[in-house]
Amino acid sequence: MVEWITSPGLVPYPEAVAEMERRAAAIHAGTEDEAIWLLEHPPLYTAGTSAKIEDLREPERFPVFDSKRGGQYTYHGPGQRVVYVMLDLNRRGRDVRAFVEALENWVISTLDTFNIKGEIRPGRVGVWVTRPEKAPLPDGSPREDKIAAIGIRLRKWVSFHGISINVEPDLSHFDGIVPCGITGHGVTSLVDLGLPVTMNDLDVALRATFDDALPMPEDGGASEPQ
Rounded Cα–Cα distance for residues 164 and 170 (Å): 14
* Residue 72 labeled ligand binder: yes
**Residue 180 designated active-site:** yes
* Residue 176 labeled ligand binder: no
* Residue 30 labeled ligand binder: no
Single out the catalytic residue among 51, 125, 148, 180.
180
**Cβ neighbours of residue 94 closer than 8 Å, sequence gap 6 or more:** 157
Distances 28 to 155, 157, 161, 197, 226 between C-alpha atoms, Å = 9, 8, 16, 36, 10
* Residue 124 labeled ligand binder: no
* Residue 123 labeled ligand binder: no
> DSSP labels for 124-138?
EEEEEEE-TTSPPPT
Rounded Cα–Cα distance for residues 89 and 224 (Å): 10
* Residue 147 labeled ligand binder: no
Length of the chain measured in residues: 226
* Residue 73 labeled ligand binder: yes
Query: Residues annotated in the binding site for substrate, as ranges?
Result: 69-76, 149-151, 162-164
Q: Tell me which residues are annotated as active site.
A: 180
Query: Residues annotated in the binding site, as ranges?
Result: 69-76, 149-151, 162-164
